[in-house]
């Protein structure tokens, strides 16, 4: 079984509060993009994980893919094995949900391979125990996501936008940025309702006006290169450019594929981790192979 585990972007990100257990309450618009890791699942007597691609991550219990398989074992009582291989392409520490995408691919794929019979809501609930982005990475689509990531409202999407994604610096720790958020200054909050309407209509100017990420100032303070990449994307024709998630990746949205391709050609020479992709609907693309 071969699975495209697609990254996600934030069109908006707002923090509306904090629970007693420390988890932050979010209000954000998220969507999958075609930039993806490839997860391959094969029947096996034992549960194993191998990794390839770049960046190369440790193939042990620190990897969310293996933790997802063990969580499915624990939740269902199933004791089948599988050989899991993750070919990495999504940048790490980027705010694009790469680890969550891998976990979602393993949960959805092994649920099918092992015939454990979990429903989509059950998979999403199990995914939430692994990470706040895993439920979205299981569902996909354009969503307005609230709570700690478990409350998702499916939204209409009028257009899939060409994107240039840049990770201009080393990755950031999500935990560190959330902690620092309380010490920083919020420069702008998104208008989630207006952004959702703009995405439904495919209206670039309205989308640009409504977008914001409240975590961006804190991340820029720690990684000034984020601001440099945002400015470069704007200079090369992006109608909107901002950080995604807690960083350190930034996205530039373009009105045409030709404009995005031209920006990519110019900026890839400056930043090694530059990617050309576009928004899409499916977060997981599963292919059964003989």
Annotated active-site positions, please?
8, 133
Bridging pattern class, strands 47-53 and 81-88: parallel
Bridging pattern class, strands 142-147 and 151-155: antiparallel
CA distance 101 to 111: 15
CA distance 39 to 100: 12
Any bridge partners for residue 280, and if so which? Answer: none
How many C-alpha atoms does 12 have within 13 Å on its Cβ side? 29
Helices and strands in the chain: count of H runs, count of E runs = 10, 12
Residue with tokens 């961006």: 216
- 250 within 8 A of 234, measured Cβ to Cβ: no
Q: How far is CA 122 from the centre of its chain?
A: 21
């Amino acid at each position: 079984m071969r699975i495209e585990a697609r990254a996600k972007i934030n069109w908006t990100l707002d923090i509306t509060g904090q629970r007693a257990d420390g988890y932050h309450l979010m209000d954000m618009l998220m969507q999958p993009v075609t930039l993806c890791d490839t997860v391959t699942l094969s029947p096996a007597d034992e549960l194993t994980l191998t990794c390839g691609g770049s960046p190369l991550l440790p193939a042990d219990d620190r990897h969310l893919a293996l933790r997802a398989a063990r969580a499915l074992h624990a939740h269902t009582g199933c004791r089948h094995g599988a050989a899991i291989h993750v070919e990495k392409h999504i940048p790490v520490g980027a705010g694009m949900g790469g680890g969550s995408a891998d976990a979602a691919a393993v949960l959805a794929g092994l649920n099918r391979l092992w015939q454990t019979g979990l429903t989509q809501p059950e998979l999403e609930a199990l995914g939430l125990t692994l990470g706040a982005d895993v439920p979205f990475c299981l569902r996909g689509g354009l969503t307005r996501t609230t709570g700690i990531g478990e409350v998702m409202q499916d939204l209409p999407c009028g257009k899939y936008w060409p994107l240039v994604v840049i990770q201009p610096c080393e990755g950031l720790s999500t935990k560190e940025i959330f902690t620092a958020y309380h010490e920083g200054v919020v420069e702008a909050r998104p208008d989630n309702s207006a952004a959702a309407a703009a995405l439904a209509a495919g209206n670039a100017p309205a989308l640009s006006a409504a977008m914001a990420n409240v975590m961006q100032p804190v991340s820029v303070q720690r990684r000034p290169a984020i601001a440099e990449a945002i400015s470069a994307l704007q200079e090369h024709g992006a109608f909107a450019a901002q950080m995604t998630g807690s960083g350190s990746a930034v996205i530039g949205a373009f009105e045409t594929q030709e404009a995005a391709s031209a920006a990519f050609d110019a900026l890839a020479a400056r930043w090694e981790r530059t990617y050309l992709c576009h928004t899409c609907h499916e977060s997981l693309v599963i292919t059964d192979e003989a």
